[in-house]
Amino acid sequence: MILTLKNIYYHLTITFLLLSLFSSKTMLAQEAALQQKISAIQELLTSVEANKLTFNQVLKTTSPGYYDFTVNEVNSKGNEVVTSYSFALSDVNKNSVRSFTKRDVILIELTVKGKQKLIKRTTDGGDKVVYLPSLTMYGLNADNGRDLENAIEDAIPIANELDESLLVLNSYPEHLQWLKNNIGNVSLPKQQITQQITTDTQIPGFVVLEQVPGSKKERFEFNLSLLNPNSVNYKISGDEFLIEIGTKRGIAGIKHFSEDILKGYTDKVLFYASSLANGKNIHKVLKGVVPLAETEFNSSKPDISSVENALSFLNKHIDAIESDGRTTTQNIALEENMATFSLKETVSDKNEEHLNFFNLTDINQNGISFKDKKTRLYLVLNTNKGAYYIGHSRNGEAKNYEKQLFVYFNSYDDAIIGKEALKFLIEHYENEIEETEAPETSLEDALSLLSNEIKPVYNDNLQHEQQIELLETETSTFRFIKVLSTSKKTIENVFEFSAQDLNKQNSKVKVSGKRVWAEIGTKSGEKLVKVYEDGKVQNYENKIEIEAPTIENAKKIVEILKRLAASQNKL
């Protein structure tokens, strides 16, 4: 037989119908078997007379697997106290069911798995509701108590099987639609709670939860893929039955609004349940929807596998951030691996502009983290080994070098992809750096390269004029001259050293405040550098400090001198 698209659709439809029919028949058989067991329990529950009280007991099925157990206590004067318990038999721990004697009555205790408060007790004609981990039934005598214990234990496995088949959802749309249909208004004895979920079809996984407990309007905006399915638990307090779910790694990525005003970010969200069955189902569906939402969200991510796309995404989603009463406009410009990050903040009529300059390969791609402060959500970019390699100016004035950079976002969804885009850019430029050892260099070539890199440096009121020259080829001796000038005085420092005494392992870029310099050390830290100040001989030193206008300039000076040291040490 040739399978056409029409035939395939027909066979899939028939298969689905057969599976649905089989599932329906199985569920009906389970319901019938369970009801048989429940009938046995109902027959064993009788009126029990104690010394001063009579206990009239009734067990009713409210829906398959869910029951109301009502105890009417009547004293010798005919006064009655009615207590009703609502519970799911599948929640009861089979191994905890026990009958025992307490004074003049036989009690049969049922305890929820994990001692969770999943039994609803209603008193005062429905005006008072609390949730408990256990309930007790009354036995007519010791034999009746044991029979009740056995009958309950016998019914629990079938209740567990039925509970597994009562709510079966497969796809992400099915889970999402169920949540939209079943997370709704809740009536409590003392208050009414309005609650609804809405979605944004443009952002897979994104939902908005609106709640009005009493008169205060609350709103939570988040992506389901952010949540941790293993964190779902019941949060029950007084007459409130809530289901709590937290975020992965406790990240505060859930936007919280109160009366439509953004209050900040949180790492947990709570859903009100209208009944025990509703709460259990919300618990189950939340655990199931998160992995599916994560798949949906990941498949919808934009392509950031090129420098152009990654940079475009970042600049589009950091352009205008409204938070904490301010507007933050940001932009990243790249020239190869060198980045310029501009940030302009507007608060009322005040503007503040920041510029940061850094090499992307100096950022630790594994050290990018999510942070929030008040109503601001941002990524923290950390440099490798915490080096102060990020240049910073504010309103055109140079500031101290930094080791961190903050990039602000409007939502956690954007920040997730923004983090991936930044990691891609860092890795891309890291891969372009040759891993091979830098070639050695001759005295003459080193002098030429250093002469190009050693420049005048202006730092606040200080001016450094610098130059280097080769004194003697045979001994590889160099002279480095540094003239420090202020408005009041000028000091000339001269350093004479042999390239053969340099230690490439002890040469590095150094930063302090606004100052950057290349520090070149000697072998074993020996004091082999001859020093003059204004022509007068000073004590020998074990290092040379060459001022640099930028981090990159200092890196190049260090690299040249390392190459020079390597070539001279082979002679």
pTM: 0.83
Q: Average pLDDT of the chain?
A: 91
Predicted local distance difference test score (pLDDT) of residue 23: 54
Tell me the pLDDT tens digit for each residue of 481-523.
999 998 889 999 999 999 999 988 888 999 999 999 999 999 9
What residues have CB less than 8 Å from 439, skipping those under 6 apart? 563
377 close to 408: Cβ distance less than 8 angstroms: yes
Q: Is the dihedral of CA 269, 274, 278, 279 positive or negative?
A: positive
3-state DSSP assignment of residue 63: strand
- Give the CA-trace dihedral at 127, 128, 129, 134, to 10 degrees: -130
Q: What is the DSSP string of 413-429?
A: HHHHHHHHHHHHHHHHH
> Span 460-482, mean pLDDT?
92
Instruction: Spell out the domains of the chain, with CATH numbers in brackets.
Output: 34-166 (2.30.29), 172-299 (2.30.29), 307-432 (2.30.29), 443-568 (2.30.29)
Assign 568 a pLDDT band (cuts: 50, 70, 90): confident
Predicted local distance difference test score (pLDDT) of residue 15: 47
CA distance 311 to 328: 18
3-state DSSP assignment of residue 314: helix
104 close to 135: Cβ distance less than 8 angstroms: no
CA distance 455 to 548: 7
> Span 393-400, mean pLDDT?
93
Residues above pLDDT 90, as percent of the chain = 80
CA distance 284 to 18: 26
CA distance 267 to 254: 6
Predicted local distance difference test score (pLDDT) of residue 18: 44
What is the distance between the terminal CA atoms of the chain, rounded to a whole angstrom? 84
CA distance 550 to 390: 10
87 close to 119: Cβ distance less than 8 angstroms: yes
Predicted local distance difference test score (pLDDT) of residue 29: 83
Predicted local distance difference test score (pLDDT) of residue 347: 85
> Span 327-335, mean pLDDT?
95
Residue found under tokens 């079809």: 201
Predicted local distance difference test score (pLDDT) of residue 566: 85
Predicted local distance difference test score (pLDDT) of residue 7: 56
Question: Is the pLDDT reported for residue 17 higher than 50?
Answer: no
Identify the weakest region by mean pLDDT among 48-62, 85-99, 191-205, 426-440. 426-440
Predicted local distance difference test score (pLDDT) of residue 19: 43
Using alpha carbons, select from 373, 411, 415 the residue that is nearest to residue 206: 411
Q: Is the dihedral of CA 189, 117, 119, 184 positive or negative?
A: positive
Hey, which bits of 96-175 come out as E strands? Answer: 98-102, 105-111, 119-123, 128-132, 134-139
> Span 84-95, mean pLDDT?
97
Tell me the pLDDT tens digit for each residue of 58-86.
999 999 999 999 999 999 888 999 999 99
Residues above pLDDT 70, as percent of the chain = 94
Q: Side-chain half-sphere of 42: how many Cα atoms within 13 Å?
A: 13
Length of the chain: 571
Tell me the pLDDT tens digit for each residue of 221-270.
999 999 999 999 999 988 999 999 999 999 999 999 999 999 999 999 99
Tell me the pLDDT tens digit for each residue of 94-143.
999 999 999 999 999 999 999 999 999 999 888 899 999 999 999 999 99
> Long-range CB contacts (< 8 A, 24+ apart) of 323-327?
323/262, 323/374, 323/375, 323/376, 323/377, 323/408, 323/410, 324/374, 324/375, 324/376
Using alpha carbons, select from 148, 156, 137 the residue that is nearest to residue 33: 156
Residue type (1 letter), 305: S
